[in-house]
Amino acid sequence: MSTIADSTSGPASKAAPPKLRKSLHAGQGRTAALLVLPTLVLLGIVIVFPLIKAVIMSFQKDSGLDPATGQFVSGGSAGLDNYKHWLLQQCGDIKCPPGTLGAQFYDALWVTLFFTVTTVVIEVVLGIWFAMIMNRTFKGRGLVRAAILIPWAIPTAVTAKLWLFILAFEGIANHLLGLVGISPLLWTGDAWPSRFAIIIADVWKTTPFMALLILAGLQIIGADVYEAAKIDGASKWQTFTRITIPMIKVPLMVAVLFRTLDVLRIYDLPAILTNGGGGSGHATTTLSILVINQIRQGFNSASALSTIVFLIIAFTAFLFIKFGGADVVQRPPRGPSGKKKKRRKSQGDALDGDSNIEGSVIGSIGTGR
């Protein structure tokens, strides 16, 4: 904790002789350090410190009875045992027996990845469709925007209970399925229906978020581009794949990045809607649920698992930013001294499309939860 504060407070301290070479910006740099420091210290306390503590804990043994082997274990250094426990399925000297939390790791990993791929793909397709509908000129646009914001605004805990009721055995979903001749499903009991229940609820809640981000991207495409394509004889499909998709690529990739990272850490919906259960017992147990379940059996092993989850998410984010074109860090901080200001002045309009994208992308971080 204190080391973080020390390392970052360097430029802020008054006696800073080595900073002479930055004399041009010296005053600004010092002010900036003072303004930025509180945030860095706070984030250091609530994120960096717990993260480091978790890594340290992950190399310690949990004291107590080992649920897998039944032998008493007394703390101490564990080396890589906690990581071997999850990744190599080793409980002590034996392979983790079925039914223990350790044995659920790969099931949890696959179901989390399955949720991630299915929900993000469905949300992108529906989101693009919704955004294209909303991008047209029509009356009652306010009503549509209000309607689409409702799933976004409802707390996930309430969403889970609402879909639990809708998908109850005697609930409205099975009633509607009955009208088209489909026999009622045990939505939160069987393995695949309970997985689809999570997907349905998640897609319902977060497609609006996706649609609104994509809509912001669509609005920067000028009508003249479409007009030119039309004159050149482009088909509708060509217009969509050669103009619309490339033009919205950056906001789309950013939206996909945030949604992907969000689903990789999904907890609320499966925890409340299916309690991680379904099928033989853990059909909807995601990585986050497994961490929480493990905490009741031992902090240190749970820390190893949560560190693995963190690394998976960090690695995914890295892949997106490096190879996926999700340009999130470089875009936002374009100061008013950049070209944006000049362009805004020349247009006399504060709401040029480019700034819209940035505003919406930045403004949406974390709000999709």
Partner 1 sequence: MSTQTAATTTAPRETPMGELRQPSTGWKHARMYGGLVLIIVWGLAPFYWMVVTAFRDVDYTYDTTPWPTHVTLDNFRTAFSTDRGNHFAQALVNSVIIGILTTAVAMLVGVFTAYALSRLNFPGKYLVLGFILGASMFPGVALVAPLFSLFSTLGWLNGYNYQALIIPDISFALPLTVYTLTAFFSEMPWELEESARIDGCTPGQAFRKIMLPLAAPGLFTTAILAFIASWNEFLLAAQFSTSKTQPVTVAIANFTGSQPHQEPYTAVMAAGTIVTVPLIIMVLFFQRAIVSGLTAGGVKG
Dist CA 56 CA 50 (whole Å): 10
Structure tokens of 254?
A: 């950013």
Tell me the two tokens of residue 58: 């992950």
Nearer to partner 1, 106 or 165 (CB): 165
* 96 vs 131 by CB, closer to partner 1: 131
Residue type, 356: N
Does 134 bind partner 1 (CB under 8 A)? Our answer is yes
In the bound state with partner 1, the residue whose beta carbon lies nearer, of 95 and 342, is 342
- Minimum gap (Å) between residue 154 Cβ and partner 1: 5
Separation between Cα atoms, residue 132 and residue 211, nearest integer Å: 9
Output the CA–CA distances (angstroms, integers) from residue 340 to 165, 216, 283, 331, in the order listed.
50, 17, 50, 11
Residue of the chain from 172, 182, 186, 319 that contacts partner 1 (CB under 8 A): 172
Give the Cα-Cα-Cα angle 341, 343, 345 (nearest 5 degrees).
70
Q: Is 222 in the site for partner 1 (CB under 8 A)?
A: yes
Interface residue with partner 1 among 5, 332, 342, 343 (CB under 8 A) is: 332
Label residue 4 exposed, middle or buried (CB < 10 Å: 0-12, 13-18, 19+). middle
User: Counting contacts by CB under 8 A, is residue 180 touching partner 1?
Assistant: no
Scanning residues 30 to 89, which ones bind partner 1 (CB under 8 A)?
Answer: 31-36, 38-40, 42-43, 45-47, 49-51, 53-54, 57
In the complex with partner 1, which residue's Cβ is closer, 190 or 352? 352
Residue closer to partner 1 (CB basis): 94 or 228: 228
Of 70-78, 88-96, 104-112, 204-212, which segment contacts partner 1 by CB under 8 A? 204-212
Q: Which of 224, 259, 256, 226 is nearest to 244 (CA)?
A: 226
98 lies in the binding site for partner 1 (CB under 8 A): no
For 91, the enclosing helix (H) or strand (E) is strand 90-91
Q: Indicate the residue among 94 and 362 with the shorter CB distance to partner 1.
A: 362
Whole-angstrom distance, CA of residue 209 vs CA of residue 152: 7
Interface residue with partner 1, options 265, 279, 297, 327 (CB under 8 A) = 265
Closest approach, Cβ 43 to partner 1, in A, equals 5
